[in-house]
Structure 1
Amino acid sequence: MTELVVRTGTGDDRDVIVRTLADSWGGTIVVAHGRAYDAAELPALLALRDDRLVGLLTYEVTDDGLEVVTIDATRPRAGVGTALLAAAAELARASGVTRLWLVTTNDNLNALRFYQRRGLRIVGVTPGGVDTARRLKPSIPRIGEYGIPLRDELTLELRL
């Protein structure tokens, strides 16, 4: 397997970013903690292998830290998500923030395992957070992974 390269997205990457978001998220609009983001308009990190996109992370840096808005790997358990999170943590440090954080949902058991194994901790639960998000994005399903009702948002963070 060839080397994995993580780099910052550019305007030339817009089409592949939009396609990746559409495939993973059903479009470019992502809703978390009561806010709708157009993830295609956010800064991005791209993971490439043989010049092919194998992962994407979109983010926003504020005084509150670096928020990972989306993260996707085309092939699980190939180190892509780990490399993207590590690059995001480095970006956060370089930006002068001391927190990398994200929101996921109560059904996302694989992601919860992934994030916690990489040092993120659950720091908040918003009961009914996904129910609220559906007002902004009605296409969010009612049943999530493993047949679990999709209702709540969980906030995880990594202190840097």
Structure 2
Amino acid sequence: MRQIREIDESLRKEVGELIKKNWGSSAMISKDQVHYIDKLPGYVMMEDNKIIGLITYNIRDNQCEIVSLDSWISNKGIGSKLIGKVIEKSEELGCSRLWLITTNDNTRAIRFYQKRGFGISGLYLNSVVRARKIKPEIPLFGYDNIPILHEIEFERVLTDERIKNNLSRSYNHKADYREKSEIQDWKISEIDKVLRYMRKEEKIGLLDLGAGAGKQAKVFKNEGIDVTCIDISKEMVRLCKERGHRAYIMDFYNLVFEDESFDVVWSMNTLLHVPKSSIGKILKNIKRILKSNGIFYLGLYGGHRFEGIWEEDFYDPKRFFVFYDDEEIQEIVRDVFEIVEFETVVVGKDKPYYQSFVLRKKV
């Protein structure tokens, strides 16, 4: 029977021996920082009182670094389960980010981490050459006889992960409610605004970013537009497919489309779920998939500054929202796009007003 145990003093000697056997010494170097991994906190996977998996980590400045990860039985989910324990610990301690370093030869690790939601966040050329001066045991050649020269940094932003998981659950629970709701007249006016641009410029391909039940996408499709829908909620994607849309479970952090795939990206009240610390990265992702001279329609509730869980929300779990005042949001989008149109729309008494942008991809 397998179980995960936190490393304690009763395991420390055995862990140290395994580390030295697997890594040559207990010293591990990442970004010029020396770690002694036999002293670090971590977890082991046990089977019949034998260690078959090991992970160590280091927390500093509200960030958690995975320093080492080993599994002595392949393709059994051991590494994934150990990472899951470190994610739980990091979230419990309020860490904002989980990150790690691997080397350029370790193609297996590069695949492994990307499949588990980690993105490349840094490349440090020839850093292993410097590390070898501190730890001469580092070999010159690694997997497949590839020269070991560079460090690659991977990360998962934990705040964003929690928000995404909650949003997926919230919208899954409210699928029936969203299905029964009607498109308001002011939203139809915004769709018509974008359609005028598309007709004038003969643009056909549109990505609906956070398509919900696919009702707005249906309006575009009825006008002859080639629509692709994405949403973080599997139930919303199901509703989109029932309407005959091409639809995928996907979030705006990981847009897997090729560069310059779409004439237009449509986003009505979806990016208001993105933390302010991540909005710049999301806008650059959208710019990448837009064709030259492409249009990005961005609509957000706003008018004042707010970031956090909306405590009056009737969704379960309650959703995370971000609101901007006009000056703040215009400054943010202007870094990535040209502002073609900006206007505010009053959508109801005692409600935030709506900020409507037509943006153009900067060449």
**TM-score of the superposition, structure 2-length normalised?**
0.43
* 1:87-102 matched pairs, under 5 angstroms: 87-102=85-100
Q: Distance in 2 between matches of 1:95 and 1:108?
A: 30
CA shift at 1:64, angstroms? 4.4
Residue 77 (structure 2) aligns with: 79
- State the aligned residue count: 158
Q: Which residue of 1 aligns with 2:142?
A: 144
State the 1:96 CA deviation.
Answer: 0.3
Amino acid across the alignment from 1:74? W
CA contact (8 A) 1:69 1:103 kept: yes
SS for the counterpart of 1:122 is: strand
Partner residue of 2:38?
A: 40
Give me the whole-angstrom Cα distance separating, in 1, the residues matched to 2:61 and 2:93.
10
Gaps of 5+ in 1: none
RMSD: 1.0
Q: Structure 1 residue 119 and structure 2 residue 117: aligned?
A: yes
CA contact (8 A) 1:18 1:27 kept: no
Partner Cα distance (2:9, 2:151) in 1: 31
Task: Answer yes or no: is the 8 Å Cα contact 2:4–2:44 preserved in 1.
Answer: yes
Write the distance in 2 (CA, Å) between the matches of 1:107 and 1:64: 29
Identity of aligned residues (%): 32
3-state SS of 1:138 partner: coil
AA aligned to 2:71 is A
Deviation at 1:154, TM superposition (A): 0.4
Q: What amino acid is the match of 1:73? A: S
The offset of 1:50, in angstroms, is 2.4
Counterpart selection for 2:52 from 45, 51, 54:
54
**Counterpart amino acid of residue 129 in structure 1:** S
1:6 counterpart residue number: 4
Give deviations 1:24-48, integer Å, cap 9, x for gaps. 1012111111011110111121111
- Cα deviation, 1:97-132, whole Å, max 9, x if unaligned, reads 021110000000001111111111110000011111
User: Is residue 126–residue 149 contact of structure 2 (8 Å, CA) maintained in 1?
Assistant: yes
Contact 1:122 1:154 in 2 (8 A): yes
1: CA distance, partners of 2:151 / 2:25? 20
Q: Which has the higher contact order (CA 8 A, sep 6+)?
A: 1
Check the 8 A contact 2:30/2:101 in 1, yes or no: yes
Deviations 1:70-113 (A, max 9, x none): 11001111111001111111110001002111000000000111
Partner of 1:110: 108
Contact 1:5 1:47 in 2 (8 A): yes
**Which consecutive aligned stretches of 4+ in structure 1 deviate over 2 angstroms post-superposition?**
none
- Determine the C-alpha separation between the residues in 1 that align with 2:147 and 2:114: 22
| TM-score (structure 1 length as normaliser) | 0.95
**Where do 5+ consecutive residues of structure 2 fail to align?**
159-363
Deviation at 1:139, TM superposition (A): 1.2
CA distance in 1, matches of 2:107, 2:150: 13
Q: Which amino acid aligns with 1:62?
A: R
Larger Cα Rg: Structure 1 or Structure 2?
Answer: 2
User: Do 1:47 and 1:80's aligned partners in 2 also have CA atoms closer than 8 Å?
Assistant: yes
State whether residues 6 and 47 of structure 1, in contact with CA within 8 Å, keep that contact through their aligned partners in structure 2: yes
Structure 1: distance between partners of 2:76 and 2:26 = 25
Distance across 1 between alignment mates of 2:137 and 2:49? 33
Paired letter, 2:94: G
Output the CA distance in 1 between the equivalents of 2:62 and 2:111.
24
How far does residue 16 in structure 1 lie from its aligned partner after superposition?
1.1
1:68 paired with 2:42, answer no
